[in-house]
């Protein structure tokens, strides 16, 4: 390359010399004929003038080349500086990525260890509950090592193995069981992990697009018969077993919430918590501690309590609610039968949803301030609370409810509670199917 440049430069210099020979020849002619200078001396003078002109031309070209080279060097220097900055930025991003991966790994391991501790706690709780009588109230449940299960990478809650307690034999139909037999059946269902999460959609009206899900727990007997909450809560609550049921339900709800987050879905999940869990001095503090490390769930997870639980909340229950509210979690009140509400006070306690049945809404005017059902939606809206009309089962009820300008509905008409498919909880985000989450 350098030889080519030298040849190019030499060629330009020779061309410049030839260019200046023409005026030099004129100079020689003038010196000979006008001044009478000897031809040899005039020729020498012309040659010298041609060479001086060529050299001057070459000097000018070299100056131009030096400026061009200097400009290229400046551009290369700027480019090198830019590359250096890019390399520094890349190094910073690599360090940041390593720190984030390390942090996420630690959080993930902490969730896994929390799940392991919870399984141990469930075993201990069920072992303690074994000696309880079905008809008599139970003493305080046995301590749980960590009550917040919810390791997001575990597909299903682990089965609690306990070979010392066989199931009731022969297994009877649920309606034929007495309370003691029903309690033993419930306990065995918990020990053998026959607890399923059912989801029922909450839709917007009138479009009927799924906006939320309500998580409902169902127990299964060994023969596959479903034990509904109205059947198991009657004997499970006095036996101190509801925190265990809530614990498993919460685990499953969080699994669904994480799947929704992976799909970039904005749908939330209502998760019911019983009054017994709010009062459980072992379950609830450790549950709150777990939630402190998982506040990202607050966008999608809404804790739901019955109106009886909310109205009957004492200092302990209220402190439990306050602890969750301080972490940013929202609440919903369901099973509302009395519309004499204080929306402002409920909003201050972080209640953002209230569920009223279609029958209650359509009964008409209610006492205490002459609040009409038609005004309830706007009253709640002014206080930052959304009204959900549930238990909608017929199209004519939808028409009547829409006259109240209700925006959210729930009921068998829009979808029955259906069990969550195991594949939804086990699949990777890349293979996650679209809605619905529940089995057809």
Q: What is the C-alpha to C-alpha distance for residues 117 and 206, in angstroms, rounded to an integer?
A: 46
- Confidence band for 42, pLDDT divided at 50, 70 and 90: low
How long is the chain? 440
Question: Is 119 in contact with 247 (CB distance < 8 Å)?
Answer: no
First vs last Cα of the chain: how many Å apart?
A: 75
Find the DSSP H helices in 130-221. 179-191
Residue 200: CB atoms within 10 Å? 20
- Confidence band for 150, pLDDT divided at 50, 70 and 90: very low
What pLDDT does 125 receive? 57
pTM summary value: 0.62
Higher pLDDT, 416 or 17: 416
Q: What is the C-alpha to C-alpha distance for residues 193 and 394, in angstroms, rounded to an integer?
A: 35
Q: 306 preceded by cis ω (within 30°)?
A: no
Higher pLDDT, 12 or 52: 52
Q: Which helix (H) or strand (E) holds 204?
A: strand 195-204
Tell me, which fold does domain 146-431 have in CATH? TIM Barrel (3.20.20)
For the chain, the domains span: 1-129, 146-431
Please provide residue 121's backbone torsions phi and psi, each rounded to the nearest 5 degrees.
Answer: -65, -40
For residue 139, pLDDT beyond 60: no
* Selection from 175, 160, 89 nearest residue 126 by Cα: 160
User: CA-based angle 408:412:414, to the nearest 5?
Assistant: 50
What pLDDT does 69 receive? 82
What pLDDT does 350 receive? 95
- Confidence band for 231, pLDDT divided at 50, 70 and 90: confident
- Confidence band for 346, pLDDT divided at 50, 70 and 90: very high
State pLDDT tens for residues 207-230: 999 999 999 988 888 888 888 888
For residue 313, pLDDT beyond 70: yes
Kindly state the percentage of the chain with pLDDT values over 70. Answer: 68
For residue 106, pLDDT beyond 80: no
Q: What is the C-alpha to C-alpha distance for residues 184 and 419, in angstroms, rounded to an integer?
A: 24
Residue 262 CB burial class (10 angstroms; 0-12, 13-18, ≥19): middle
Per DSSP (E only), the strands in 207-263 are 210-220, 226-227
Residues 6+ apart with CB under 8 A from 377: 387, 404, 405, 406, 407
Higher pLDDT, 226 or 48: 226
């Amino acid at each position: 390359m350098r030889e080519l440049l030298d040849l190019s430069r030499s060629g330009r210099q020779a061309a410049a010399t030839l260019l200046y020979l023409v005026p030099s020849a004129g100079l020689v002619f003038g010196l000979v004929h006008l001044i009478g200078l000897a031809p040899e001396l005039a020729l020498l003078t012309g040659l010298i003038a041609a060479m001086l002109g060529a050299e001057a031309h070459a000097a000018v070209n070299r100056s131009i080349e030096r400026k061009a080279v200097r400009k290229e060097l400046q551009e290369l220097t700027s480019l090198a500086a830019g590359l250096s900055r890019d390399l520094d930025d890349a190094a910073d991003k690599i360090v940041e990525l390593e720190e984030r991966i390390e942090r996420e790994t630690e959080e993930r391991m902490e969730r896994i260890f929390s799940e392991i501790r919870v399984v141990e706690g469930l075993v201990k709780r069920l072992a303690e509950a074994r000696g309880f009588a079905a008809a008599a109230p139970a003493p305080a449940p046995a301590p749980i090592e960590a009550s917040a299960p919810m390791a997001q990478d575990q597909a299903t809650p682990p089965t609690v193995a306990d070979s010392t307690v066989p199931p009731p034999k022969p297994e009877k139909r649920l309606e034929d069981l007495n309370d003691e037999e029903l309690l033993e059946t419930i306990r065995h269902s918990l020990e053998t992990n026959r607890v399923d999460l059912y989801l029922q959609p909450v839709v917007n009206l009138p479009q009927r697009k799924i906006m939320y899900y309500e998580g409902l727990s169902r127990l299964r007997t060994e023969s596959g018969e479903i034990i509904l909450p109205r059947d198991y809560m009657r004997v499970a609550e006095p036996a101190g077993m509801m925190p265990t049921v809530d614990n498993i339900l919460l685990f499953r709800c969080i699994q669904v919430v994480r799947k929704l987050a992976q799909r970039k879905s904005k749908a939330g999940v209502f998760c019911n918590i019983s009054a017994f869990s709010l009062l459980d001095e072992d379950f609830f503090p450790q549950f709150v501690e777990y939630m402190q490390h998982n506040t990202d769930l607050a966008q999608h997870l809404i804790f739901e309590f019955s109106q009886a639980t909310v109205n009957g909340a004492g200092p302990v229950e209220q402190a439990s609610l306050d602890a969750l509210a301080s972490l940013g979690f929202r609440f919903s009140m369901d099973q509302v039968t009395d519309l004499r509400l204080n929306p402002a006070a409920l909003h201050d306690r972080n209640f953002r949803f209230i569920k009223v049945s279609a029958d209650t809404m359509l009964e008409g005017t209610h006492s205490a301030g002459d609040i009409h059902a038609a005004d309830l939606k706007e009253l709640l809206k002014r206080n930052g609370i959304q009204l959900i009309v549930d238990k909608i089962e017929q199209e004519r009820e939808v028409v009547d409810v829409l006259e109240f300008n209700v925006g959210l509905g729930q009921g068998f008409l829009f979808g029955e509670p259906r069990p969550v498919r195991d594949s939804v909880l086990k699949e990777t985000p890349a293979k996650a199917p679209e809605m619905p989450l529940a089995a057809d």
